Amino acid sequence: MVTHSYHNNVTLITGASSGIGEALAYELAGQGACLALAARRVESLEAVAARCRELGGQAVAIRADISQQTDCERLVQETIEAYGRLDTLVNNAGITMWARFSDLNDPALIEQIMKVNFLGAMYCTYYALPYLQQHEGRIANISSMADKLITPGNTGYVASKHAMEGFFEALRAEVAEAGVSVTMLYLGFVDTGFAGRMLDKEGKVSSGIAAQLWQTKQMSPADSARLIARATYQRKRTVYTHVDGWPGWIFPWFKLLMPRYLEKIGKGFMDAGGI
């Protein structure tokens, strides 16, 4: 049942041209949201914006590379120019890797991942925050259950998600007095093809790399979008999803009490992935 909780809510979504970001755009458009959609792929982004308008929302497509501070500033300003306000920021854009750290041709790959996953979210939040504080806004951060597991082969990705967690946990306390909420969403496997876009040891996209790791129970993008929309609207602090049938909240306890067990599982995933 649609609650229309996002009716006229001005929401900026990064990484909106595909996957979770695209599904979330459609979910909020169906509730009458005013969307600012950001990504690097203009044609795909325009198609998503057009579909959002068909579903009953408003939408503008803004090309932006969030690893660049100037793009993040411009993204927020163009959102304000389009709608005059900003109510919700969804830091969704991200990239990942599948390679042993010792095998990397250049450790700058880790910096690239940090720029997109962590610094991009930080930059967007910095420029959005003054407007969010005006309307007791919401910040939603799409993280990963990889942050709560032990996942060798994903060193750069996990580092970026740890950084995001630490930053936004601290920021939550800073902005509480202004009525701004921060929601951290730790998602398990979502059927978006993300595994097929992992960066290999050369920093190149390798389609199908580690695909066997994703032969497990996956949440659909539409289901993940409904979860994100509901949790963000309700201003929840932390949300965990399932991982292959296991409740996500249990893994931080596993990590605390049985770290070697999680390491063994992670090592098995890495070996199965051929790295």
Q: Which two tokens stand for residue 192?
A: 């978006």
Give the active site residues.
Answer: 157
d(CA 275, CA 263): 16
- Do 138 and 232 contact (CB within 8 A), yes or no? yes
d(CA 229, CA 184): 12
Question: Cβ contacts of residue 173 below 8 Å, gap of 6+?
Answer: none
C-alpha closest to that of 213 among 142, 153, 143: 153
d(CA 45, CA 117): 19
Strand partners, 186: 143, 240
CA quadruple 146, 62, 228, 91: dihedral, nearest 10? 40
- Do 237 and 172 contact (CB within 8 A), yes or no? yes
